Structure 1
Amino acid sequence: MSWTTAEQSPKILTRPLGPSEVDPGHTIGREHWAVNFTATISPRGAFAALSSSPGLLPTLIHYSWLNLRFEHPSIAAHPDSSNTHIVCTIPSSGNDLSEWASQTFVVETDAESVDEVIPTIAPAADARLYYLPQSSELLLHTAHWRMDGVAGMLLLGQLVDLMVSHADKFLLNRLPDPFDSCNWGSEVTRLTPSFEDAGNIPFTVNKAQKAIADRSVGTFGLAAGALGVPYTGDAVTVPSGTRAVELTFSCADKSAITSAAKSCGLGVTAAVHASLATVNFRHAIAEHRGRHYTSSIRYSLRPYLPEQYMTPAVAAGFYSTVWFARADASASWEDHARIYQAEYRNGLSNNFLQAHREYASTLIGVFKNLPTPREPPSEIDISSLGFMEKYLEREYGAPERGFSIAHVGYSVEMLSREGGVFMWTFRDQLTLRLVFNQAFHTSKQMTEFLSDIKTDILTQLQVD
């Protein structure tokens, strides 16, 4: 259903949460699977003057953040008290806008990296932006129902683009007031719909579509009896902060892996996924040896929507889907790789897309009625964002007046005993980032896990 004006005020817009967007709520003051997008920025040419004073660049980012809200009002939309609808309020004054910025934009002057900030972030109604002067990092943090993995990268890219467009006037102290310069109220035409509404997904399905929805929901049953890796504590241990370790392949290794995988008829994601399965088997809890491994297959739904959904124009939305796949302990690396390659290569059928409302709605019901598992899951899963340059540029502006993006990153907040490997390519380098909760795993354990993935994929693909 589309956005409508709320009865209590013409300044409030609302729509129902889509079945893919249902907010899971907050556990112990934290938010499982909240997403973090990062970019390391560097001013170039004349814009290097922005580094001459500690307050200049944060002020420009603050101003551009307000303009980003105007371009993407959904970053300021949040669930209502019933957790059934999303609401967005149009600012009525400059004070309203300033108040929103004070709650959502933070300069972390003492932090040396985003890894120090992420574990401290508490749930918030709207998306938040952090800037770390010591590391020159931008951190966009939001609930996962609001944004998929593509969304945050598109938004960070547009934020830096806005910084470029405003920098000259800012350096001359000629920036207009952000409230007066934007036609507030007109931005509501850019509030994003749910996937089911954007794709005109029907409320009823035929027999073939129903079968696909049920089969996809059924894959979540593969989690039962699957292996896990060792963790600290027991079933009642309370989670702590989310941590991460990162491994970057050299450009030469990445190129060699790509070529070797291609010669085997594989994509890099399927090859890494197969090595991840192998390492899960190798690191499994002793009592789990011989069990199968269950992991997710994730797809962006954006390519199946109108073209603008792959652009910054409709960035602030959640358009992603997932199901589970099984790998058996007795199978070879090549067997695993072929299974994953088929999953990633096949794409999404029209019947699956047309059944997505049924699928997502059914899945919500299943999750609400799940019993507490006898064994907490603790496997290491995977998600690939592919080539980040599809969503944001390496350089913005011109060499003499612009910004470079040296590094990007993506992770989620992890409150369970599971871990997640997020992989992407940027500036011709392949990066694996493994996120975990520090109450259950150590950085040493997870670093060894990543190192074993690297060793395995180089060995399996015979890369020297």
Structure 2
Amino acid sequence: MSWSQVSDRRWERPTNGIEGYFTVAGAFSASLMEGRHHYTIFSRVSVDLPFSSRAEATEALRLAWQQLRYEQPMIATTIEGLTKVYEIPDEAALTRWLETTCIVSPAADAEALTRIMTPVQQATLYYLPEASELVFRSHHALIDGVGTLMLWHRFLSILADPPAGGPPAFGDEPARLAPSLETILQHPVPPKPELAAQGAKLVQECVQAMPGVGPVNRVGTVAAGPIQNREWVFPERTSAALVQACKAQGFSVSAAVQAAYIRTIVAHADPAARAASTHPNRYVTVNSVNLRPKLPAPYNTSQYAASLYYTPWGYVIEDIPDSFIETARIVDHHYKTLFDPAVNPDHLEISGSLTQALRDIVQTPEFLTQPVSRDALFSSLGIMERYVQRSYGTEGRKIVVQDVKMGVDVILGISMLFLYTFRDTLRLCYSFNEAYEDPEIIQSHLEEVQKVLVEELLG
């Protein structure tokens, strides 16, 4: 799955399993919901910019965005069918790209932007001068959550310290197009038959086990409405105390938060769904696993931020324990052993087969009749400062990052719960669709997750 030059200016490569899955799912939701792609990345940074006027800031942002495209041409790729495409721009094409993907928005803030934004065709940067915020949106077939944070790092680095010599001359940038995960890991394509069979089996088992516990969710009964990315920020002292309590218990903060979320959805499960289920105490989800730590340099760095270097992995707890601590330890064990080569030596290679099976199964009529998960899929992004600094540059051109937020557009109904830490505070972001879930109920669930953690870990 390597890039090949097909004309003087055009380069192509096939999508792999996970890229293909998001392409198919996005195209399906777009065909039903006015071009809206399911799981479009939506990330916001609140920044103090060092520029004296809006015009100066706009010009600096455009130049930095142009430089980022030169360094990471993936942000200007498109997908035709299941083929990724990149075209070297001439001056006119570069101007059109800047006009359509680097936008100054009159929105009051990122939340207001969600009410007026239209579907994006390529990765797009918004500047919201009224709130001093930047928003990045992209189809998920291009980039994942950790990659988005890494992309912010590189973009803000360029903005704070632009390269000397002015705008770059395009032409050699295709050499920096991101290869597929399988190419980097030197996994065979097609995969080994026995691993392909295991990947397909894992996907089937997860799909057949859904929908799991399931809080009240109207997915499948109404059309998609506005999206929300509702954030809950823990107090700093509470955050620090919870981190220490998790260390004392021997499990990760991610495992504790997921266990608290499981307790919350069990308490608020849809009574009708539980009564109809043959496994009313089964938890089913799909975890997101960042694979960049498994990759060699430079693919594990921000040089290749614009890429999809993660894998989903189905996870089922057949009988949810009554004990919060026991649940957290079960989840923690899953995280720690999933890609441990001493425990699961084939899992890294199976991930390619798994995502190919996922891409294939979502295109079958049988899949559309399967019930989908009604509780949120869980994704932990960890400590954001591993990827995004709190400030960039020096006095005179210093950029201060006050806040970072990560979410996705939920169109097809499977919500997501993100966990991350920035500036020493734990944050939850619940991405959902207002037509399927009530904002007030989501807010109360987020509050309850914190309450469970405090009661169980801080007493």
Normalising by structure 2, what TM-score?
Answer: 0.90
How does 1:214-253 map onto structure 2 within 5 Å? 214-221=200-207, 223-232=209-218, 235-253=220-238
- In 2, Cα distance between equivalents of 1:450 and 1:222: 28
Q: Residue 53 of structure 1: CA displacement? A: 2.2
Letter in 2 for 1:311: T
- Equivalence for 1:20: 18
SS in 1 for 2:119: coil
Q: Residue 361 of structure 1: CA displacement? A: 1.8
- Residues 112-171 of structure 1, C-alpha deviation per residue, up to 9 Å, x if partnerless? 21112134433333100001111111111001010011111111111111111239x8xx
- Equivalence for 2:400: 404
- In 2, Cα distance between equivalents of 1:436 and 1:356: 27
- Greater mean alpha carbon deviation, residues 151-160 or residues 138-147: 151-160
- Equivalence for 2:172: 186
Matched, 1:201 2:187: yes
Letter in 1 for 2:73: P
**Aligned match of 2:37 in 31, 42, 52?**
31
Q: Residue 453 of structure 1: CA displacement? A: 0.5
- In 1, Cα distance between equivalents of 2:138 and 2:221: 27
- In 1, Cα distance between equivalents of 2:429 and 2:5: 42
- Change in Cα spacing, 1:105 to 1:263, as seen in structure 2 (3 Å) is same
- Equivalence for 2:323: 332
Q: Residue 191 of structure 1: CA displacement? A: 0.4
- In 2, Cα distance between equivalents of 1:225 and 1:240: 22
How does 1:66-215 map onto structure 2 within 5 Å? 66-80=66-80, 83-93=81-91, 95-109=92-106, 111-166=107-162, 176=166, 178=167, 182-203=168-189, 205=191, 209-210=195-196, 212-215=198-201
Letter in 1 for 2:124: R
- Equivalence for 1:364: 359
Contact 1:235 1:376 in 2 (8 A): no
SS in 2 for 1:162: helix
SS in 1 for 2:362: helix
Q: Residue 254 of structure 1: CA displacement? A: 1.0
How does 1:271-310 map onto structure 2 within 5 Å? 271-289=256-274, 290-310=280-300
- In 1, Cα distance between equivalents of 2:417 and 2:350: 29
SS in 1 for 2:17: coil
- Change in Cα spacing, 1:19 to 1:212, as seen in structure 2 (3 Å) is same
- Equivalence for 1:269: 254
Letter in 2 for 1:188: P
- In 1, Cα distance between equivalents of 2:333 and 2:209: 20
Contact 1:280 1:293 in 2 (8 A): no
Q: Residue 67 of structure 1: CA displacement? A: 0.9
- Equivalence for 1:354: 349
- Equivalence for 1:342: 333
- Equivalence for 1:315: 305
- In 1, Cα distance between equivalents of 2:211 and 2:43: 33
- Residues 31-52 of structure 1, C-alpha deviation per residue, up to 9 Å, x if partnerless? 1011112111113xxx3xx1x3
- Change in Cα spacing, 1:265 to 1:208, as seen in structure 2 (3 Å) is farther
Contact 1:157 1:393 in 2 (8 A): yes
SS in 2 for 1:159: helix
- Equivalence for 1:3: 3
- In 2, Cα distance between equivalents of 1:347 and 1:357: 15
- Greater mean alpha carbon deviation, residues 411-420 or residues 211-220: 211-220
- Change in Cα spacing, 1:183 to 1:266, as seen in structure 2 (3 Å) is same
Contact 1:212 1:351 in 2 (8 A): no
Q: Residue 415 of structure 1: CA displacement? A: 1.2
Contact 1:219 1:325 in 2 (8 A): no
Q: What percentage of residue pairs aligned between the two structures are identical?
A: 26
- In 2, Cα distance between equivalents of 1:207 and 1:4: 27
- Residues 374-417 of structure 1, C-alpha deviation per residue, up to 9 Å, x if partnerless? 65542122111001111111110124431110100110110133
Contact 1:203 1:358 in 2 (8 A): no
Letter in 2 for 1:14: E
- Change in Cα spacing, 1:297 to 1:377, as seen in structure 2 (3 Å) is closer
SS in 2 for 1:321: strand
- In 2, Cα distance between equivalents of 1:418 and 1:296: 11
- Superposed CA RMSD in Å reads 2.1
Letter in 2 for 1:358: S
Letter in 1 for 2:329: R
Letter in 2 for 1:458: V
- In 1, Cα distance between equivalents of 2:114 and 2:186: 36
Contact 1:119 1:243 in 2 (8 A): no
- Equivalence for 1:172: none
> Gaps spanning 5+ residues in structure 2: where?
275-279
- Change in Cα spacing, 1:152 to 1:131, as seen in structure 2 (3 Å) is same
- In 1, Cα distance between equivalents of 2:5 and 2:196: 34
- Equivalence for 1:42: 48
SS in 2 for 1:452: helix
SS in 2 for 1:280: helix
Letter in 1 for 2:62: H
- Change in Cα spacing, 1:275 to 1:222, as seen in structure 2 (3 Å) is farther
- Equivalence for 1:384: 380
Q: Residue 320 of structure 1: CA displacement? A: 0.8
SS in 1 for 2:393: strand
**Aligned match of 1:457 in 437, 453, 458?**
453
Contact 2:211 2:374 in 1 (8 A): no
